[in-house]
């Protein structure tokens, strides 16, 4: 892990993400890039910027650059670079991930609920769904945070084996005990015998060490994972995301995105297509 990207909008949540990223960067000897994106509320003229618009953009960029550098100066000995760009937040974060070979994105989140969650969503949610690298979302995380107990929500299917390989790197990095959590729901109920059979095969294929298997019975996967993390007093939740797009995401949603929106713990998401 050499390159960590932290999008910063100057909110307390994004500053919390930076503090958490510094802890990881110290341990990994990694570089952090702080990215601030100025996204106009409405497009400028189609023929280009007028002089007034250009002056306004220049002022915004200078102000943001100065503010971002003050944040970067509190580096705690970590190498920190800054970048201020104009355009779509989602597009520019994705572009930075691709062009700079980012190993981890650390983002702050406020969460969402109700109509806001359904109709608007968030840039964090979009990045979680589509990122080619792991994304760690944090909220109200202590500065001296350590990961000793790591919950991984599993469906015990072979599709997660590649995700587990990435997850084991994080487990080793943090020196954490891995808690495999399978949520048994009414709609996808499995007998104890079926769970035992599938979990034994999954654990063998994944070649897991330093782990404990937990089976939670709950109304749905999201609630079950959050309850399990609370009961285990876990420091972090890790999940695979199917990276759905378009109508598939609209109708099916994403359990990982739901957990990101509603969990009070840091959530590490790993794309199943990675």
Nearest to 17 by CA among 87, 84, 110, 103: 110
Instruction: State the pLDDT confidence band at 117, using cuts at 50, 70 and 90.
Output: very low
* Numbered ranges of CATH 3.40.50.620 in the chain: 1-141, 146-274
Q: Residues 214, 218, 127, 80: is their CA dihedral positive or negative?
A: negative
Q: What's domain 1-141's architecture?
A: 3-Layer(aba) Sandwich (3.40)
- Dump strand ranges (E) for the chain: 3-7, 31-38, 80-86, 104-108, 135-138, 149-153, 177-184, 211-217, 236-241, 267-271
What distances in angstroms separate CA 50 from CA 87, 114, 227, one per listed residue?
A: 17, 40, 54
Nearest to 167 by CA among 270, 42, 77, 19: 270
Radius of gyration for the alpha carbons in the chain, expressed in angstroms and rounded = 20
What does the pLDDT look like over 234-262, one tens digit per residue?
999 999 886 454 433 333 347 888 888 88
What does the pLDDT look like over 255-274, one tens digit per residue?
888 888 888 899 999 986 54
**DSSP letter assigned to residue 76:** T
Q: What is the CATH number of domain 146-274?
A: 3.40.50.620
pTM for the predicted model, two decimal places = 0.88
What does the pLDDT look like over 91-106, one tens digit per residue?
999 999 999 999 999 9
Spatial contact of 86 and 61, defined as CB atoms under 8 Å apart:
yes
Provide the 10 A C-beta neighbour count for residue 146: 13
pLDDT at 153: 94
């Amino acid at each position: 892990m050499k390159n960590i990207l932290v999008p910063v909008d100057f909110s307390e949540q994004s500053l919390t993400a930076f503090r958490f990223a510094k802890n990881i960067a110290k341990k990994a000897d990694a570089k952090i890039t702080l990215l601030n994106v100025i996204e106009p509320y409405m497009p400028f003229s189609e023929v280009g910027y007028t002089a007034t618009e250009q002056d306004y953009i220049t002022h915004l960029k200078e102000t943001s650059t100065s503010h971002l550098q003050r944040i970067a100066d509190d580096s705690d000995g970590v190498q920190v670079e800054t970048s201020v760009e104009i355009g779509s937040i989602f597009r520019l974060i994705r572009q930075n991930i691709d062009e700079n070979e980012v190993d981890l994105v650390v983002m702050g989140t406020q969460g969402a609920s109700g109509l806001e969650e359904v109709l608007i969503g968030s840039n964090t949610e979009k990045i979680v769904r589509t990122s080619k690298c792991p994304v760690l979302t944090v909220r109200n995380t202590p500065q001296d945070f350590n990961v000793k107990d790591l919950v991984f929500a599993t469906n015990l299917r072979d599709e997660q084996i590649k995700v587990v390989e990435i997850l084991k790197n994080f487990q080793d990095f943090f020196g954490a005990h891995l808690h495999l959590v399978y949520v048994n729901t009414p709609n996808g109920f499995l007998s104890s015998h079926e769970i035992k059979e599938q979990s034994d095969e999954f654990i063998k294929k994944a070649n897991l060490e330093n782990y404990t298997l937990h089976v939670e019975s709950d109304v749905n996967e999201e609630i079950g994972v959050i309850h399990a993390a609370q009961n285990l007093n876990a420091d972090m939740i890790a999940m695979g995301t199917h990276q759905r797009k378009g109508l598939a995401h609209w109708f099916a949603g994403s359990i990982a995105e739901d957990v990101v929106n509603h969990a009070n713990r840091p959530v590490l998401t790993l794309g199943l297509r990675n």
